[in-house]
Structure 1
Amino acid sequence: MSRTRVKICGTTNLPDALLSAEAGADALGFIFAPISKRLVRAEVAREASLAVGPAVARIGVFLNQGLDEVLRLAEGGRMSAVQLHGPLAPEFVLAAAQFYPVLRVVRPADLQTEAQRWAGHPAVTLMLDAPEPGGGVPLDWAALQADFPAGAWLAAGLGPENVAEAMRLLRPAGVDAVSKLEASAGQKNPQAVKAFVDAVKGS
């Protein structure tokens, strides 16, 4: 069985990017959605991306933004993939997937439909998140066991204290955390980041 990958999201500065990479994160998330309190500038994301190097995936996070804006910011920030939130048409996701691997974020209510839609697509991977991402509230993992698709990623309220249980129940291909790894919005807690990565890799 392949190892569950670890994504640390909400990276807003170079020291936190280096911290997460050194802790063993497989991917860093950079949020370009203007409404986010963890918004990062493309030039900061670029500096962090160049510093951590190609061994760590750099994922640009977008919410209801136009394709030109997604591609411009992803290129400017030196992203290696994009994470798309919002009620997007499948055609939009497919268009983005021509340029970058896509993490398509879905809510529990849409999981089955979206899993059928993207099953087998080589450039689109599902990520299950809460209806209000970034709120730090876990999903009901036991209720999702029957429907959670192989190869999907999991977000929503994950932290060092609960990620092992989520992995045991759902066996996601990757896990994504942000709010439980912060000292304040946009500023990482080094101990929590390390504990999260260790919890995932030890499970």
Structure 2
Amino acid sequence: MPDLSPQVKVCGTTSVHDAVLSAQAGADALGFIFAPVSKRLVSPDVAREAGLSVGPAVARVGVFLDQGLNEVLRTAEAARVSAVQLHGSLSETFVRTVADFYPVLRVVRPDELPAAGMRWQDVPGVTLMLDAPQPGGGVPLDWDRLRQTFPPGTWLAGGLGPWNVAEAIRVLRPAGVDAVSHLEARPGVKDLAKVTAFIAAVRASTP
């Protein structure tokens, strides 16, 4: 029987050490945040080294917030990411242009559903991710209220941790799950036990 559990992205990676540990724990993807406002800001050089350390089987996702097109593409190239995650108030043309170069996770808020699902359905290279209004804040979404508007094939973020990710998967059946704040010892530093427990909880779940 094939593995039906969602993909797992460990976001907010700031060091080669944490990247390797997360990959060894079974992460499918690592997130590297390039938004200057983030407490988990990482340089393209560190992200590139981390990506080389984990190998091509693990996706490397560059995370951006309301940054210019040239900055996004230049940073993504320097960091050698394999995908780009876009937060903020961005035009459809902007997102489609980035998708010409990299697979895109387009992040939306709960109040943007279901319109965002209809807009991006079947657009090549673009996948939706639902996140809280304040990404990285560690506050879970109300999954039951979102059940009717959550588009198939969408990723889920927002307050996920080892203790609640199985329930989120049961309710919404996301294509992937993304966590950061509840997998840390402190902002920007991963807690291996929490990362391992989170990934184990996802693998034990079937949508």
1:3 to 2:8 alignment: no
Query: Which position in structure 1 is the counterpart of 2:94?
Result: 92
Distance 1:160 1:151 in 2: 22
1:71-86 alignment to 2 at 5 Å? 71-86=73-88
Provide structure 1 residue ranges, at least 5 long, that are not aligned to the other structure.
none
Q: Deviations over 1:108-153 (max 9, x none)?
A: 0002111010001120000000001000000000000001110000
Instruction: Tell me the SS of whatever aligns to 2:135.
Output: coil
Q: Distance in 2 between matches of 1:113 and 1:39?
A: 31
Residue 11 of structure 1 aligns to a residue in which SS? coil
Q: Secondary structure, in 3 states, of the residue corresponding to 1:166?
A: helix
One-letter amino acid of the counterpart of residue 153, structure 1: W
Question: In 1, distance between residues paired with 2:197 and 2:77?
Answer: 31
Letter in 2 for 1:59: V
Q: CA RMSD in A?
A: 0.7
Q: Is the 8 A contact 2:64 2:72 kept in 1?
A: yes
Question: 1:195 — aligned with what?
Answer: 197
Q: Tell me the amino acid that sits aligned with residue 73 of structure 2.
A: L
Query: Take 1:67 and 1:190, find their aligned partners in 2: how far apart are those partners?
Result: 34
TM-score (norm 1): 0.99
How far does residue 95 in structure 1 lie from its aligned partner after superposition? 0.5
Alignment partner of 1:57 is 2:59: yes
Describe how 1:119-130 pairs up with structure 2 within 5 A.
119-130=121-132
Partners of 2:15 and 2:143 in 1: how far apart? Answer: 32
Contact 2:140 2:160 survives alignment (8 Å): yes
Matching residue's letter, 1:132: Q
Where do 5+ consecutive residues of structure 2 fail to align? none
User: Secondary structure, in 3 states, of the residue corresponding to 2:38?
Assistant: coil
TM-score, structure 2 as length reference? 0.97
Quick one: distance in 2 between partners of 1:183 and 1:72?
A: 31
1:34-45 equivalences under 5 Å are 34-45=36-47
1:185 maps to which of 184, 187, 194: 187
How big is the shift at 1:3? Answer: 3.1
The letter for the 2-side match of 1:106 is: V
Is residue 47 of structure 1 aligned with residue 49 of structure 2?
yes
**Conserved? CA contact 2:66–2:89, under 8 Å:** yes
**Structure 2 residue identity aligned to 1:191:** A
Secondary structure, counterpart of 1:38 in structure 2: coil
